[in-house]
Structure 1
Amino acid sequence: MERKKLDVDIVLDILKETLAANPTSSFTASLLHQYQERGGLSKKQLEGLHHKASKVSAISTGKLATLEAIILKKPMKHKSPLPQPTPLFTKDETAGKLITEILNKYPQHKRVVFFKAKYDNNEPFYVTETEELKRFYKLLIEK
């Protein structure tokens, strides 16, 4: 974090005043230590500091307002919602119609029964299998 004026540091002033008002607060002490070590605080830490500092009456409202502005200036991190799951395989409705029509007329046709089992198990059809199914439909139904 790069500061423009080194002599004015609102966050450090608020940290010191909050720690002076409540010297047993380990939260404020750890924030002060981290601020001095790293030179900045995260948005959540600043929000926690603002919550603690707003309870101290010795801190001026101008400093609290400046701290609020610093908090609002920080970017918000949020997770985007997960996308809706999509099925890996979509059934080919035309193949399903062809299978049912052939099996209505010829229920014992072994190859079409195999296609029906494959269709019911959501297994994808190869191009050759769909062509074979269409050929069966032309031969058996569209005589």
Structure 2
Amino acid sequence: MAAWRDLVRFIELEYDVTRREPDEIRVRLHYGGEDVDDGERTQIVVVAREDVEGQDWVQIATPFARADAVDVTGVLAEIGATTVVGGAVIMGDYLVLRHSLPLVNLDINEFTEPLELIAGSAELLEEQFTGDDDY
């Protein structure tokens, strides 16, 4: 997979797309019950095309808490102990897990596995540190 449009086409076929813009697509991943009434939790993930020194990269990012509402040191310690892919950053008011990949020669498993790991980790962090399901 070497083109952004090919990745977007794949995402549209495989995921619950909630928003699409020229350089960004948002998807909702579902966890738990059959629907929201059954205790289902969801996680919004932003997949964006980024230009890094003339090369297309894909950034996978998902917020999981407001930075001012949680113990950031505790969150970082938990991420260090439990998370294999990605890292935590503050973007605006939010703590976000994100991971970036070069688009050139990207195999689909190099995208899907990090996306699912990032989203799943963010969902667990959100539940553990906020008790909510806002993102």
Query: Would you say same fold, with TM above 0.5?
Result: no
Decide which structure has the larger Cα Rg and report it.
1
* TM-score interval, smaller chain: under 0.3
Q: What is the TM-score when the length of structure 2 is the normalising length?
A: 0.25
Q: Which has the higher strand share?
A: 2
Flag the structure with more relative contact order, 1 or 2, with Cα contacts below 8 A and sequence separation at least 6: 2
Q: What is the TM-score when the length of structure 1 is the normalising length?
A: 0.24
